[in-house]
Amino acid sequence: MSPAFNLETCARPNILALEPYRCARDDYKDDGTNILLDANENAFGPSIASSSSHLQSLGVDLGSLHRYPDPHQHSLKQLLCRLRNTHAHTAKTLTPDNLFVGVGSDEAIDALLRCFCVPGRDRILVCPPTYGMYSVSAQVNDVGLVRVPLLPAPTFKVDTAAVLDALGTQPDVKLVYLCSPGNPTGSLLAKEDIRQVLEHPTWNGVVVVDEAYIDFAPDVGAASLAEWVAEWPNLVVMQTLSKAFGMAGIRLGAAFTSPQIARLLNSLKAPYNISTPTSALASHALGPEGLAVMESHREKIMQQRDRLLAELPKIQGVGRLRGGTESNFLLYEMLDAQGKPDNVTALAVYERLAENKGVVVRFRGKEHGCLGCLRITVGTETEVTRFLAALEKTLAEVRGTAGGRKDDENEEKREVEASGVIA
């Protein structure tokens, strides 16, 4: 070991201080018995027919794996364009020149920061509560943050006046990240609000709309703004196959944007960022057979979502729905014994569900405007049945001990205060 090496002075200070994004599998794993309703995965599985069990049948040429994959992915991009060319917004047609494909949406989030933001000088604007990787990627790249919170629940709309004011007075903001439908809010942002940001008269920057959950929104063709990139040169719309398509394991994300921005993103990416198996599996999911499976699974998810909306308010201790219903998850308050939304109660319910009942949801109480909230991913019919029974029992246990055990309450409060950034 070199006597001169000192990690504390060698690494970038912002990386040393980084509090990493906590993913859903950090706390509770899939041990074969748990039901996982915490990561907004598709519980019905991938958009692959059950008969297509072999890689060869899905178009993966095992004999070609000794060769590097296609660095341009033109055919895959064409399938993504075909999916979003609805002409609901414009007569213009998306082409592969409008696309960057990456390792999930996270690669696009990071690539945009590296493309537009000078470390130590520029900043991005985010609207909490929102997806945590925007701020994590900003810190990794030594890029500052401007936070303009969404308007209060249950609408969680963009505070357009505050956003426009921030962009007009802070020229070092280069990117605005908007999540629609929001995570953890589940609310679709108004197109008119996004238009106002795009039309800012003095701001020279890029609007990034994260549509990871767009396929769960009503009238997807009209809801998605992917086609708007043909009209707005300062717009990027990110999507993923991880959610509605149930392909989280292949890590495939897409960024629709102008050909000029797409060219920059494709220039700075790793040469072969999309593997041959990933490309083949994604192409299958985007083909006629895969789309039929996706639509069938989506319909089942929506049925179970409606079931949760009907059944959760009947459980004593479940409070208000906070946010929207345009995603595959719901954000609900947990109430204390006095009937108020409470983080101590919500954290206790979250932990006891996972550790005693094998049901994993997500505690969101530390997010802006989400006091006492759990985020619940929609599962299969069997999983939803088990979750509802477990939640009712756990809430009764937690609320039954609240107020009479001060030491336990104080300990739980300390745990809430000590818990890290979970986004």
Its domain, for residue 335, covers: 12-46+292-418
Phi, psi of 250 (to 5 degrees): -90, -15
- Among 272, 269, 298, 299, CA closest to 73: 272
* 201 CB burial (10 A radius; 0-12, 13-18, 19+): exposed
The domain boundary residue, chosen from 291, 311, 332: 291
Assigned domain for 59 exists: no
Give the C-alpha separation, 386 to 17, whole Å. Answer: 40
Does residue 141 fall inside a structural domain?
A: yes
**Which residues on adjacent β-strands are paired with residue 114?**
none
Decide if 215 contacts 243 (C-beta within 8 A).
yes
- Can you give the CATH number for the domain in which 358 is found? 3.90.1150.10
What's the confidence (pLDDT) of residue 13?
75
Distance between CA atoms of 188 and 35, rounded to whole angstroms? Answer: 27
In a domain, 5, yes or no: no
Same domain, 351 and 369: yes
Do 399 and 268 lie in a common domain?
no
Query: Do 303 and 283 fall into the same domain?
Result: no
Residue 51 makes CB contacts below 8 A (sequence gap 6+) with: 57
- What is the layout of strands, in order, in the sheet containing 329-334? 318-321, 329-334, 373-377, 362-363
Tens of pLDDT, residues 199-224: 998 999 999 999 999 999 999 999 99
- Same structural domain for residues 282 and 297? no
Same domain, 78 and 97: yes
* In a domain? residue 56: no
Question: Do residues 203 and 233 both lie within one domain?
Answer: yes
For residues 274 and 344, membership in a common domain is answered with: no
Q: Give yes or no: residues 281 and 312 share one domain.
A: no
- What distance in Å separates the CA atoms of residue 99 and residue 103, rounded to the nearest whole number? 14
CATH number at residue 224: 3.40.640.10
SS3 category, 92: coil
Tell me if 130 is assigned to some domain.
yes
Examine the domain organization and report whether 287 and 153 are in the same domain: yes
**Which of 275, 291, 307 finishes a domain?**
291
Sequence-separated (6 or more) residues with CB below 8 Å from residue 38: 24, 28, 360, 361, 362, 375, 377
Report the pLDDT value the prediction gives residue 306, as an integer from 0 to 100: 97
Q: How many domains does the chain have?
A: 2
- Asked if residue 143 is part of any domain, the answer here is yes
**pLDDT tens-place values along the chain, 423 residues long:** 446 556 576 655 765 676 766 666 667 766 778 888 887 888 887 776 655 555 666 667 767 777 788 889 999 999 999 999 999 999 999 999 999 999 999 999 999 999 889 899 999 999 999 999 999 999 999 999 999 999 999 999 999 999 999 999 998 999 999 999 999 999 999 999 999 999 998 999 999 999 999 999 999 999 999 999 999 999 999 999 999 999 999 999 999 999 999 988 998 888 889 998 999 999 999 999 999 999 999 999 999 999 999 999 999 999 999 999 999 999 999 999 999 999 999 999 999 999 999 999 999 999 999 999 999 999 999 999 999 999 999 999 999 864 333 344 444 554 444 444 333
pLDDT in tens, 251-284: 999 999 999 999 889 988 888 899 989 999 999 9
Same domain, yes or no, for 180 and 306?
no
Task: Report if residue 61 sits inside a domain.
Answer: no
Residue 34 confidence (pLDDT)? 84
DSSP state at residue 335 = B
Among 291, 319, 339, identify where a domain stops: 291
Are 248 and 172 in the same domain? yes
pLDDT attached to residue 33: 83
- Amino acid at the residue 241: L
Q: Do both 402 and 255 map to the same domain?
A: no
